Amino acid sequence: MEKRNDRLDDFFMEYRTMVIRNAYMYVKDYYVAEDICQETFIRFGKHMEDIPSEKVKGWLFCISERLAFDYLRKGGKYETFVGLEETELNRFAENYSDVSHLLEKKEEYEHRGRVLERLKREKPLWYETMCMCYLEDMDNPSIGKELGVKPYLISKWKERAKSWLKTAYEEEYK
């Protein structure tokens, strides 16, 4: 148990800043971003043994993004993508010698955010299916039980969502 806690502490120390920044980009409130970070690591602690070390960063990033979207949706101030203002960008860039890295990331998030928001708006069940599958690492029967549909339908939704996302990304990146 102590080894597990040490491992969780190590991941927290390494990725907490990244998780807070990611959440802040959406919610624009540092204290809410800290709360989202805390919730992200609580969820991570529950699934830590199931997540390979090389996928931890991506998992934390995706879960914090989803929690930020949920916060915005539930708070009634839902927006497609918020992004950083110039003053916040400078504040967060103090640990980076090259700010262009952050600007590239911001642009990438904006593109990804627009496409994912479009999927969420146009095909909400597909969006939820993809999130449950790839972010929460749930299998088709578990997702089907959660959404109240048969597992084979979940498989079809995932196939269709992948195809839809591919087409939408191609349109966005023209």
d(CA 126, CA 158): 7
The candidate with the shortest Cα–Cα distance to 9, out of 31, 41, 40, 39, is: 41
Instruction: Summarize pLDDT for 93-117 with one digit per residue, the tens.
Output: 444 444 455 566 667 767 777 888 8
pLDDT tens-digit readout, 26-38: 888 888 999 999 9
User: From the CA atom positions of the chain, what is the Rg in Å?
Assistant: 17
| 85 — pLDDT class (breaks 50, 70, 90) | very low
Q: What is the DSSP string of 94-107?
A: GG-S-THHHHHHHH
Which of 8, 58, 76, 73 shows the shortest CA–CA distance to 38?
Answer: 8
Quote the longest CA-to-CA distance of the chain: 51
| C-alpha to C-alpha distance for 88 and 92, rounded to whole angstroms | 6
The pLDDT tens digits of the residues spanning 42-73 come to: 999 988 888 888 889 889 988 998 898 888 87
Please, are residues 51 and 136 in contact by the beta-carbon 8 Å criterion?
no
pLDDT bracket for residue 16 (50, 70, 90): very high
Q: Looking at mean pLDDT, say which of 82-86, 105-109, 122-126 comes out highest.
A: 122-126
Mean pLDDT taken over the chain: 79
Query: Can you read off the two tokens belonging to residue 59?
Result: 């998992």
- Model confidence at 122, pLDDT cuts 50, 70, 90, reads very high
What length is written for the chain?
A: 174
